[in-house]
Amino acid sequence: MRCPVCVRAELVEQLQNYHYRECGLDNVILAGITVRTCPECGTLAPRIPRIEALHDCIAHALVMKEERLTSSEIVFLRKSLGWSGTLFADNMHSDRSQVSKWESGKVVMSKANELLLREMVARGKKIEDYKSIDAARKESNKVVSLFVRIDEAKRQWTDEWREAA
């Protein structure tokens, strides 16, 4: 394959570590992937298989890290949920200017909001609209109970939400 930038030389493939800045984070290294390099202009063209799974892996690592999230990590996690800044603000019960301050690093996200963000990402659920969930809950007069039972054979607890009779 010819270099897409200089079109003069054939790209040379080799396995190497690749600093994956394209994800928006400065500290992600892809270990031992195939990288095509142009011997003329130095252009790098990494082969990144299963990029969605890669981004899920990065998001999981961010959720599990002990340190507080950085502004660029907040942006990455918001994007992993598929949310615009406005939708993120709505779902965090915040406003767009506050989200902008978190994402630019001007203001540190509160621990409560950070835990909520981590939980949303960890569950892998892209909750579309918390406001409609709240409204539906208020409109419903149903009594719902959580039934939790032990399965002795499996030695584990199971849970089930049921409407009261």
Confidence at residue 50, expressed as pLDDT on a 0 to 100 scale: 86
Among residues 67, 75, 61, which one has the least CA distance to residue 25? 75
pTM score > 0.75 for this model?
no
Assigned domain for 121 exists: yes
Assigned domain for 109 exists: yes
Residues 107 and 77 in one domain: yes
Q: Residue 153 carries which DSSP code?
A: T
Structure tokens at 84: 């615009």
Sign, CA torsion 92/66/70/30:
negative
Domain that holds residue 7: 1-49
Residue 19 amino acid letter = H
Residues 6 and 63 in one domain: no
CATH assignment at residue 101: 1.10.260
Assigned domain for 154 exists: no
Residues 33 and 66 in one domain: no
Assigned domain for 136 exists: no
Residues 60 and 25 in one domain: no
Confidence at residue 155, expressed as pLDDT on a 0 to 100 scale: 72
Residues 43 and 58 in one domain: no
Over the stretch 84-132, which tens digit does the pLDDT of each residue have? 999 899 889 999 999 999 999 999 999 999 999 999 999 876 555 445 5
The structural domain count of the chain equals 2
Which run of H or of E encompasses 149?
Answer: strand 144-151
Residue 100 amino acid letter = S
Residues 27 and 69 in one domain: no
Please list, in sequence order, all residues whose beta carbon lies within 8 angstroms of the beta carbon of residue 49, skipping any fewer than 6 positions away.
33
Residues 121 and 60 in one domain: yes
Over the stretch 34-87, which tens digit does the pLDDT of each residue have? 999 999 999 999 999 888 889 989 999 999 999 999 999 999 999 999 899 998
Assigned domain for 119 exists: yes
Length of the chain: 165
Neighbour-count burial of 98, counting CB atoms closer than 10 A to its CB (0-12 exposed, 13-18 middle, 19+ buried):
middle
